[in-house]
Structure 1
Amino acid sequence: MKVTDKLPSGLNIQANRVAVAGISSGGFMTTQLQLAYPETFPLAAVLAGGPYDCLKVAGAMAGCLSPSALTDQQLTSAVNRAVQNAKDHSLGDLNLLNHGSIYVLYGTADQVVGTKIAGAVTTFYKKLQATLPTQLAGLQISEDGTHRFGHTFPTYLPPLPDDDCIKSVSPYLGHCGFDGAKNILEHLYPDIKTGDQPDGAAGAITKLRSANSLPPSAAYAGKFVYVYTPKACMNGQPCGLVLALHGCNQNETAIGLKFVRDVGFNRWADDYRVIVVYPQTRTVDQNYGGCWDWWGYTGTQFDTRAAPQMAWLNRLVNRVANLSGH
C-alpha cells in the first residue's frame, strides 16, 4: 500500500451523514467528540464505552470500569458539566444535536468496561435531553445491550472453539456470529435498507500521512490514517463518512491493519454509501497500549474543544470530507 497525500477525487460528503463510532477508549472518545464538535458529528455510536467526563465524576479510572457503576447523582453531575462547558464554549453548541442521534451498544459478557458503565451512556444522553428539553427534543437515543459478547468488537464470523467473542482477547475482533458493524450502521443510517449480505463492490484503502491534518505532538497521533472509499462513493456520488475509532491495543502498532481491514465497516460501506476513516494513536507509556484520551494524558483540557487529540480528529474529518463552514 503506497503512502499518499491524496484521496480519490470527487468525494461528495454530506455533512448531515457524518458519524463517529468507537469501541472501548474509542467509545469514551466518541461521546467527547460528539459533544465537543456537534457541528461535525451529528451522528454517533458508542460500543463498550462510557459517558462524558466519567473519570471526573467517578474520581478515578476504576470508577469507570467493571464492576463499578455511576450513581444517579454522578450522572447528573456529568450532564451539568457538559451543559456548563457548552455555555463556556469549551464544548460545541449542543442545540445542533437536535437533529442528531446516539446509539449505544454493549455485550452482556463485557467484564472490562461492564454493562453498568456502558449503559450509563444512554442514561447520560437521556438526562441531557431532559435538561434541555426544547433544544434536544429531536435527538434520537437508542441502545442495545442484549447480545452476548465480551469486551470486543463483534463480527459476523462464526464462533471459534476458543470463543474469542466472550474471552476478549487480541485483536479484540470477536468471532461472534453477530455483525456489530452492520448493526451500528443500521442505527446511524436507518433510512437505508440493505439485504442480509453486503453488496461486495470493490473499494480502495488510502494510506494518508497524519501530518497532513496537523496533529500537535500532544495529540499522540499515529503516523498514518487509513481511509476506505467504496466504489459507491467515487465519482461525486453523495455519501456519508464514519470516523471509526479503535480501542486500546487495537492500533496499528498493536495489531497491524486488522482493525482497518476486519472490523466490518468496509464490507458494508457500499450499501450504506459511506467512506470510513481510521485514525491511529501513537503508543506511549501514558496511554496503555494506544488508548484514546478520556482521562487526561494529553492534558487537562482533554474533554473540551481545546483538547489536542479531539481538535486533530475534528480537523482530520473536515479535511477528508472537505466540509464547509466548520
Structure 2
Amino acid sequence: MNPIPSSRFCRAAFLAACLLALARSGLADPFPALPALNVDIAETSVSGISSGAFMSVQFQVAHSSIVKGAGVVAGGPYYCAQDDAIRATTQCTCTLDPLHQVCSVSPTSADVPALEKATRDFAQKNLIDNPDNLARQRVYVFAGGKDELVPAPVIDQLDDYYRRLAVPAANVKTERWAKAGHTMPTMRYGNACPVTDTPYISDCNFDGAKEILTWIYGPLATAKKTKKPKAGGRFIQFDQTPYLPASQRYSWTTGMDQSGWLYLPAACERGEPCRLHVAFHGCKQGQSYALLRPLPDGSVYYGTTFVRHAGYDTWADANRIAVLFPQAVSIPGLNPNGCWDWWGYTDGNYATRKGVQISTVRAMIDRIASGKR
C-alpha cells in the first residue's frame, strides 16, 4: 500500500486515469444524491485501514465534536507526516520502498510531542475542534504482528498520542493480532491472514468490523434467522461532487472520486432512528483503482471489494447503522495509488477542517444527518 510508486506505475496509472475519465464522460445518468436520514450526528463514528486509518484519525481529531469513536486498522497518530511525503513513507510507515527496506521507523520516529503541539496549535487557530472532545471518544486499534508496512512502533506512538490528548486508557483498546499482515481482518473473506497483498482484506477468523463497532457502540444485535426475513438494506452509489467545496468541485487534484457508496439499512430508509459509521478504504482499495494484475474474479478495477467485503454491512441492518464509504481516486504523479491524503498532496490544510477531503466527508455527514427528527 505504498503511496509513492515507481515511474512505470505512474505511467500505467496515468493511462488508467485517462481511460476512466473517458468512461465517465459517457455516463448518461448522474449518480443520485445522498438521502437525508433520521441520524443523530453525535453518534457518528469513523474507521479505516492504512491510509484510511490515518484519515479516520485525522477526521476524529478535526471534527471531534461529532465523533463518538474511531477504529484504526494499521494506522498512526494524527499529523504524523507533518505535510511531508518522505516523512510519511519512512518515519510513519515503511512504504517508500518496501523491497529495499528504506525505512526509519523507530520508537520515537513519529515525534509524538510535536504532534501533540501541532494538534493544540491547530485548535488555537480554530482549524480543528477542541481536542478536549477526544476524552469522551472510544478508540479501537488493530495491529498485525506480520505488518511490515505499519510496524509496531507506529502503533505504540498512536497509543502515546491518545494518552497525551487525555483519552482515558479505558477508552482505548489495542488489538495486536500476531498472525495478521497489513490487512482488514474478516471472518472468512480474502487472503490468508499473514498475507500483505491485494485486496488487503484477509480471512483471519476475526471480525474486525464487528470489533470496531462493538467497541464504539456497545454489544451488537445479530440478524434474526426467520423463515420470512425482513428485507435487508441496500448499497447505494451516490454522487460525491456536490459535497466538494464549490471552488474545487471540478478539480481532479482533490483526490475525490466522482461517486461513493452508502449501505442503507431498511430501517434507516423507513425513517427509524439510526447511527452513521464512515469507513475509509486504504491505498489501492478505491473503486476506481486500476490493478497491475486482476483480482481472482478477473476484475481490472478494485471496484466494490472493500465496500462489500470489509464486513461492515453484516452488522448494519440489525443495529440500524448506515455505513458511508467515501471514495478516493488516483492522481497520476501525486497519488497514483488512490490513498487518502494524510501527507499533503492536496494542500497544507489536509489534516484540518479546511482540508478538501475532510470538509467533503463532513458535508456528506451533514446531508445524511439532515433528516434528524
TM-score of Structure 1 vs Structure 2, range by shorter chain: 0.7 to 0.9
8 Å CA contact 1:198–1:268 kept in 2: the answer is: no
Structure 2 counterpart of 1:154, which letter? P
Distance 1:100 1:170, change over 3 A: same
Is it true that 1:75 corresponds to 2:101 in the alignment?
no
Aligned ranges 1:14-29 → 2 under 5 Å: 14-29=40-55
Tell me, yes or no, if the aligned pair for 1:5 and 1:208 is still in contact at 8 Å: yes
Residues 305 and 320 (structure 1), Cα distance of their counterparts in 2 relative to 1, 3 Å cut:
same
Aligned residue among 206, 227, 230 for 1:178: 206
Asked if 1:208 is matched to 2:238, the reply is yes
Deviations 1:73-105 (A, max 9, x none): 811221111112111112112233343222211
Q: Higher Cα Rg: structure 1 or 2? A: 2
Q: Is the 8 A contact 2:50 2:283 kept in 1?
A: yes
Structure-2 residue corresponding to 1:248? 283
Residue number in structure 2 paired with 1:35: 61
Matching residue of 1:227: 262
Residue in structure 2 matched with residue 266 of structure 1 by the alignment: 313
Structure 1 counterpart of 2:129: 92
* Inter-partner Cα distance in structure 2 for 1:75 and 1:138: 17
Are the equivalent residues in 2 in contact too, given 1:3–1:207 (CA < 8 A)? Answer: no
Tell me the residue number matched to 1:237. Answer: 272
**Deviation of 1:128 (Å):** 1.2
Query: Is 1:119–1:145's contact at 8 Å kept on the other side of the alignment?
Result: no
Tell me, yes or no, if the aligned pair for 1:185 and 1:272 is still in contact at 8 Å: no
Give yes or no for contact 2:69–2:138 (8 Å, CA) kept in 1.
yes
With over 3 angstroms needed to count, the CA separation of the structure-2 counterparts of 1:105 and 1:230, relative to structure 1, is same
Q: Unmatched 5+ residue regions in structure 2? A: 1-28, 95-102, 290-301
1:282 partnered with 2:332: no
Q: Hey, what's the Cα distance between the residues in 1 that align with 2:169 and 2:142?
A: 20
Percent same amino acid at aligned positions?
A: 31
How far did 1:56 drift?
A: 2.4
Contact kept in structure 2, 1:97 and 1:139, CA below 8 Å: no
Q: How many residues align?
A: 311
Q: Please list every run of 5 or more consecutive structure 1 residues that lacks an aligned counterpart in the other structure.
A: 130-135
The answer on whether the counterparts of 1:198 and 1:267 sit within 8 Å (CA) in structure 2 is no
Matched residue, 2:39 = 13
1:234 Cα offset (Å): 2.8
User: Structure 2 matches for 1:182-197, cutoff 5 A?
Assistant: 182-190=210-218, 192-195=219-222
1:59-70 equivalent positions in 2, closer than 5 A = 60-61=87-88, 62-66=90-94, 68-70=105-107
- Offset, 1:211: 1.3
Does the 8 Å CA contact 2:68/2:216 hold for their aligned counterparts?
no
Q: Which residue of 1 aligns with 2:71?
A: 45
Structure 2 counterpart of 1:133: none
**1:65 touches 1:117 (CA, 8 Å); kept in 2?**
yes
